[in-house]
Every structure is written in structure tokens, then in C-alpha cells.
Structure 1
Amino acid sequence: MSTLFVEQPWTAMSLLFRPQYRVDVFDERDTPIAVVRERGGPGLQRPLRYTGFSGWTTFDLDVVAPHGQPIMHIGKRFGRRPHVSVSTPQGQLIGTIKTHSAWKQSLHDANGQQICFFGDIARIETGGRAKRNGRRVRRDVVRINPGVAEPLRSLATACAVAFDVVRGTGTSHVSSGGVDWSA
């Protein structure tokens, strides 16, 4: 089983006022393996990123290795639960992810054929707390089953490293009941 640690800053300011999506990804040996960042800023959608509608906004994410080599691209159009597309750095579609609920996502090949659900091949534990270089981070732990082949491995990884985007939370953790501290 391969384990990924997906981390993002965890402060009151970053939880409430972080308009751009950025996470760092580490393996089980604590080695940095990727950074997920937006290609550009949220632009005109920036005000929505501060609200509970952040998950509705467009996301254009690059997954890059620590030394800067592109690994994959993750994109989501505007809307509540549109498909999230996953492609190679050259733009070739790997597949898509469809969210059915906050905790149920289906993985589809490049032709749109459903392959399986994310939970069939991986487990994710969200909202853990840790320290990285003396700073508090929110840590999601992702375990992908051994032997998962392509394109499923890439789709599962994309789902995990962009889970807040995929499940519709976006960058804001503000909900009608207050702050979503655990997600």
C-alpha cells in the first residue's frame, strides 16, 4: 500500500482567508514528492473563494515534482459538482472524477467510462493535525491499494491531492454552522 501525506497550512487565517489552492505532498518516508498549486490566481472569482461558494469556482491546478517537473494537471469548471478532469502535462486526458457526495467519487477513463469508486482502491483520512518545519499543517492521509495500475493510480492520486476541490469545498472551510475545522 502506498501512503501519501497531503498537507496545507493550518492557521485561522489560512482556513478563513486562503483564496488559492496549494498543498504539499509527502510519501511515507517523509520525502517531498509533489506540490499542487493553481496555475494562476482565482481572478474575478476571488471574492467567492472567501465564502462557502469557493467549491463552485473554477480550479486550474498543476501537480509538480519538488524540482519543478510537471506531473499532471487537474481542472474543474465552474459549478457545484462538475466533472474534474485529470490530464498529462502535455494535455492528454487521463480521465475524470465525478463527485456523487462529499465522500463518494467515481473515477472514469478518458472515454468517460466509469472504472470504479475512489473508495474501492484508496482510503483517505482528512483533517489530521501535524507540524512541518515548526508550522502547523492540516494533514490528509491517503492510502492507495498496492497494484493499482494506470490510469487508476493517476486518477486516485489526483482525487487525493485535490480532495477539497473534488468534493466541492474549495479553499474555504467556512460553512453555515461556522468553520469546518475537520475538513
Structure 2
Amino acid sequence: MTLPGTDTLIIEQPWGVLRHLLATRYRNDVHNGHGVPIATVSERGFLGPLRKLLRATAFSGRTRFDLALAERGQPVLLIRKGAGKPPTQVSRPDGTPVGSVRHEGHGAYALLDPAGQRLCLLHEVSSFSPGAIAKRDGRRVRRDVLNLRPGTPEPVRSLAIAAAVAYDVVRGAGTNHTSGGTFDFPTLT
């Protein structure tokens, strides 16, 4: 089971004007419902100058992403999206496929098994609230909150967690929150 012992995840990323407009690497911190740090999400590998340049533009969401969700420094899920708009692939650290997440538009995200068959939609097994601005340790963060239904089985649980921790990648914004023609101004809490 991915991140056992909690059904509420608070996903935070640094938020500020320069970070909001110019960030090129994807990075989040994951806390449980009590605010205790439990995992991190970060990019694996080297970006390269072309991808770095594209990440600073509205094309960021169409670049390739290779993320690792790590608990206590050990990867528990690998989250990959190829160039363009393919589904986001989720696997275990040993390469075993868990499934994929596909953005279906209008806030709908399908959770798919390794063969590409729909298991369910994200909102059928969880509630997800993206984009609140909050403070943690004196700095501003964008806070997304995932509340999983207790007892959500695998692989749906892992796919829902992957969709939430890689939300900007899954929805196609990448690291550039101004992509898509509108500013991604989070709500204030």
C-alpha cells in the first residue's frame, strides 16, 4: 500500500511570484492530515537546456516528466508523462506498472489499470481540493488536499495518490501555472 496509515494527504509546493512564473523543476512536499511530513515528490534526472527553456513557457505541460514519490528517501511510486498529452504512467520502483491517469477534461481524471481499462474516476474514490495558498514555516505554499475514501483498494489508492501529487503534470500545466491562457491563481485560505 502506498503511504499507509493516512487517508488525508496535504500536498504543498513553494509559491511565490518568481516560482509561479519561472519554475522549471517539479517538487512537492506531502504531509498527512496532521501536518506531519511523510513524503516528497521530485524530478529524477537532468532536464537539459531545451526542456528547461520549454518549462519556462506555456509548453511546460507538454514536456516529458519523470517524478518519484519518495517516503523517507525511498521511492514508492514512479510517475512519468511523455511529451505531448499522453496519459501519466504510474509504476512501482522495480518497474512494475500500477496503471495510468488520464485527464478527460472538465476536472475529470480517469484511473486506468496497466492495460488501459478504466477502473474509476478520481472523484469517485476521493475528494481533491487544489490550489489554496497557505503558510508553512513562515513561507507561502500552494496547498492541495486529497481525502481518500477509507479502505480504497490497490491499485486505485496508488493511482489516486499519484494523480494528486502530480496534479499539475496530470492536468497538463506542468511547472508553468500560466499555461493554458489563464493564470492559475490559487484560492486564499
> Which TM-score applies when normalising by structure 2?
0.91
C-alpha displacement at 1:182, in angstroms?
A: 2.2
For 2:58, the aligned partner's letter is G
Indicate the residue corresponding to 1:11 in structure 2.
Answer: 16
State how far apart, in whole Å, the 2-side matches of 1:176 and 1:28 are. 31
State how far apart, in whole Å, the 2-side matches of 1:166 and 1:119 are. 14
Indicate the residue corresponding to 1:157 in structure 2.
Answer: 161
Indicate the residue corresponding to 1:57 in structure 2.
Answer: 63
C-alpha displacement at 1:130, in angstroms?
A: 1.1
C-alpha displacement at 1:175, in angstroms?
A: 3.9
**Residues 12-161 of structure 1 correspond to what in structure 2 (within 5 A)?**
12-43=17-48, 44-65=50-71, 67-79=72-84, 81-101=85-105, 103-161=107-165
C-alpha displacement at 1:42, in angstroms?
A: 2.4
- Match of 1:171, SS state, is coil
State how far apart, in whole Å, the 1-side matches of 2:23 and 2:83 are. 18
C-alpha displacement at 1:178, in angstroms?
A: 5.5
For 2:97, the aligned partner's letter is L
Return closer, same or farther for 1:175/1:85 CA change in 2, 3 Å cut-off: closer
State how far apart, in whole Å, the 1-side matches of 2:100 and 2:56 are. 26
> Structure 1: where are the runs of 5+ without partners?
none
C-alpha displacement at 1:176, in angstroms?
A: 6.3
For 1:35, the aligned partner's letter is T
> Structure 2: where are the runs of 5+ without partners?
1-5
- Match of 1:47, SS state, is helix
Indicate the residue corresponding to 2:3 in structure 1.
Answer: none
State how far apart, in whole Å, the 1-side matches of 2:100 and 2:140 are. 32
> Which TM-score applies when normalising by structure 1?
0.94
Q: How many residues are aligned here?
A: 181
